């Protein structure tokens, strides 16, 4: 039996707080911009759906990329669905924003808040996944803990 100690790098509490605050601010500024968006109800509804589509596809893409970082673990069709969904969500939302007949200042606000939301979603997804993986590694190193059957960490222990 090998006695290997792995060093786990964990994010600081300040970093985790900053990530959550940043994501919350992004949601707030996007929600505020969409709630006060001048123009028709159909434009507002389209943009709300576009923002939600972008947000959910960003989280799905984050998970896909992280799951396949070391070795491919998903089918090529799933890769196409995830990457295609993200590209489509971004393209449709950009198209909806571009074609809206509103003041350029509003468009700039919506564009910046939308990109802020997407980037903070990727950062949040990475931070949550890092914490999850550090906890799994920590559990695997504790000989007093029993790991569930089929857990890859159990095979390494």
- pLDDT tens, residue by residue, 22-79: 999 999 999 999 999 988 889 899 999 999 999 999 999 999 999 998 889 999 999 9
Q: For the chain, first and last CA: distance in Å?
A: 9
Place of tokens 């998970």: 63
CA distance 64 to 15: 23
Greater model confidence, 149 or 44? 44
CA distance 112 to 29: 10
Looking at residue 149, what is its pLDDT? 53
Using a cut of 0.85, tell me whether the model's pTM lies above it. no
Residues in the chain: 157
CA distance 125 to 33: 24
Q: Which of 28, 24, 15, 8 is nearest to 126 (CA)?
A: 15
Which percentage of the chain shows pLDDT scores above 90?
A: 68
Mean pLDDT of the chain: 88
* DSSP one-letter code for 148: P
């Amino acid at each position: 039996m090998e006695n290997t100690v792995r060093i786990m790098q964990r994010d600081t509490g300040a970093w985790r707080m900053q990530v959550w605050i940043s994501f919350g601010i992004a949601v707030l500024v996007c929600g505020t911009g969409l709630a006060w968006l001048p123009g028709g109800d159909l434009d507002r509804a389209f943009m709300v759906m576009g923002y939600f589509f972008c947000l959910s596809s960003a989280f799905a893409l984050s998970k896909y990329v992280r799951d396949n970082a070391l070795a491919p673990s998903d089918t090529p069709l799933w890769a196409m669905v995830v990457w295609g969904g993200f590209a489509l969500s971004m393209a449709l939302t950009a198209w909806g924003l571009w074609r809206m007949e509103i003041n350029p200042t509003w468009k700039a606000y919506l564009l910046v808040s939308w990109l802020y939301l997407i980037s903070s979603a990727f950062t949040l997804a990475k931070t949550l996944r890092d914490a999850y993986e550090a906890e799994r590694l920590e559990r695997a190193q504790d000989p007093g803990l029993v790991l569930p059957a089929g857990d890859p960490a159990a095979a390494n222990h």
